[in-house]
Amino acid sequence: MADLKARIAKRCAKEFKDGDFANLGIGLPTMVADYIPEDIMVTLHSENGFAGIDAVADASNVDVDIINSGGVYVTALPRVKYFDTAESFGLVRGGHVAATVLGAMEVAENGDLANWIVPGKKVAGMGGAMDLVTGARKVIITMMHTQKGAHKILKKCTLPLTAEKCVDLIITEMGVMEVREDGIWVTELHPDYTKEDIQAATGCELHFDPNMKAMEEE
Amino acid sequence: MINKIMTADEAVAGVKDGMTIMVGGFLATGSPEVLMDALVRKGVKHLTVIANDGGLDAGQPAGEFAAKTARGVGKLLEHHMVDHIIASHLGVNPKLNEQFAEGTLRYTLVPQGTLAEKIRAAAYGLGGVLTPTGVGTPMETELDELGRKKKVVEIEGKKYLLEMPLRADYSFIRPSVADKFGNYYCAKATKNFNYVMAGAADKTIIAPEKIVEIGEIDPDIFAVAGVLVDAIVEGEKPWQI
């Protein structure tokens, strides 16, 4: 499982270009930062208040005025810019964030996303997720393809939405999928799986791009 | 001449049962602890709290480091002082879900960016804000914090939600540095809601970590105008981990 998550994070890291300003969600998306190539400059957004997250802090360098959006004490890059919540989400809604990477409970074939609430369960809240998937120029979902076998990529979401038609790209351990006007297209398939395998693990019809290639691990 | 400096107990003396308060901070980083302590001492009840989240509970891990006591809004929840919380995230402090289950606390969720803009609209005299965030989600169909239906406005073919201003009786804010007139700034990631909340309430109370003389530091460093500040309280300390 850890290896599969690392596979997803490594592949996602290839989506970034030199100079991008991006937001990584909590969990698997946070792992993406470890694989961003050294030779490009990507500035990571911490929506609670800055652009330029660096590593998690330890007892030697902790500053109680710097947490990330998960409440973890972190450090900041020399090029950091701190801002308040209004400016932080102005940057998001204004389309100044190149990409946001986050997990999903459900994604529909038209790009609808559900990842913030399961009715009847513990109340958590959307935090900044609705703003991020509405405002970021590209929404990338990184997740395991199914929830212990239960489909997560569906014809239609059953859970309350985070936003409509917002997902651009889905990266799972099985492959890479683009959400296009006419549905979900597999552009990369991992060599461990066949077209039949990925279709069987998906709750809507998949299209296979004529130029589909093997999902690269490195 | 006006003197805004007073004790925390004096600053919260006018807070009454049933009032609406705003509290700065993000998971309690940037929350004015001396003002929360004063509210607890006053024992005021049935508050409506506007904040990003419910702060932290005693003994709860805050990232790598445990909070020894409740922090920020967590102090008010610990003492059952809140009837309604208006926030973007309620999953961290376990007191929230306990009190939802007991039926003593209700909540209104607002997306984080929308929450900031609703508060800013109140402070800056706007009739509301139009945001694309929440279109097609429960934010469009559920009633707002005052039980009003949301309006959907279409502009050049794109849908927006009309989000109404969010005001309070009191705003409680934690600057890193303020002068004795109330001009202030918040360091690093403690800014969060501590700028937009100034002036979005009838009374704006600040608890700076450091208070300087008027003219002592370069005025260009201040982010928020002291004209918005009604009271300045001493004694706020850097958080100890």
Task: Say which residue the tokens 């403690």 belong to.
Answer: B190
Task: State which residues of chain A have pLDDT below 50.
Answer: none
| pLDDT score for A56 | 92
Q: Minimal Cα distance from B116: which residue of A?
A: A86
Class of residue B190 by CB neighbours under 10 A (exposed 0-12, middle 13-18, buried 19+): buried
Judged by CB atoms closer than 8 Å, whether chains meet at B238 and A66 is answered as no
Q: Is the pTM of this model over 0.95?
A: yes
E strand or H helix at A2? helix A2-13
pLDDT at residue number B66: 62
Q: Does any CB of chain B come closer than 8 Å to the CB of residue A27?
A: no
Q: What is the pLDDT of residue A161?
A: 98
Residue B136 is nearest to which of A58, A66, A163, comparing CB atoms?
A: A163
Q: Residue B55 corresponds to which tokens in the numbers above?
A: 């702060």
pLDDT given at position B63? 57
- Kindly provide the b/e burial profile for residues A75-100, where b requires at least 16 CB atoms within 10 angstroms of the residue's own CB: bbeeebebbbbbbbbbbbbeeebbbb
Contacts of B35 (CB under 8 A, 6+ apart): B8, B11, B12, B23, B172, B205, B207, B233
CB contact under 8 A, B88 and A89: no
- Buried-state track B87-112, b at ≥16 Cβ within 10 A, e below 16: bbbbebbebbbebbeeeebebbbbbb
CB spacing of A84 vs B26 below 8 angstroms: no
Determine which helix (DSSP H) or strand (DSSP E) holds A93, and give its type and residue range.
Answer: helix A85-93
Instruction: Report the C-alpha dihedral over residues B54, B58, B60, B62, rounded to 10 degrees.
Output: 70
Q: Is A82 on the interface with B (CB under 8 A)?
A: yes
Considering CB atoms only, which of B116, B135, B189 is closest to A66?
B189
Residue ranges of domains in chain A, CATH in brackets: 2-214 (3.40.1080.10)
Other CB atoms within 10 Å distance of the CB of residue A162: 32
**Residue A13 CA neighbour count, 13 Å, CB half:** 22
How many C-beta neighbours within 10 Å does residue A28 have?
Answer: 21
ipTM of the complex: 0.96
Give the model's pLDDT for residue B85: 98
- Identify all chain A residues contacting B208, using CB atoms and an 8 Å cutoff: none
Chain A residue with the nearest C-alpha to that of B160: A134
In this complex, is the C-beta atom of A178 within 8 Å of any C-beta atom belonging to chain B?
no
Gap between the Cα atoms of B196 and B119, Å rounded: 6
Distance, in Å, from the CA atom of A126 to the CA atom of B226, rounded to the nearest integer, reads 33
Q: Is A54 on the interface with B (CB under 8 A)?
A: no
Residues of A in Cβ contact (< 8 Å) with B97: 122-123
pLDDT (tens place) for every residue of chain B, 241 residues total: 889 999 999 999 999 999 999 999 999 999 999 999 999 999 999 999 999 999 999 987 655 566 789 999 999 999 999 999 999 999 999 999 999 999 999 999 999 999 999 999 999 999 999 999 999 999 999 999 999 999 999 999 999 999 999 999 999 999 999 999 999 999 999 999 999 999 999 999 999 999 999 999 999 999 999 999 999 999 999 988 7
Find residues 134-153 of chain A whose CB sits inside 8 Å of chain B.
134-135
Q: Which residues of B touch A88 (CB under 8 A)?
A: 113, 116
Q: Is B116 on the interface with A (CB under 8 A)?
A: yes
Q: Catalytic residue positions of A?
A: 47
Could you identify the residue written with the tokens 């990266």? A171
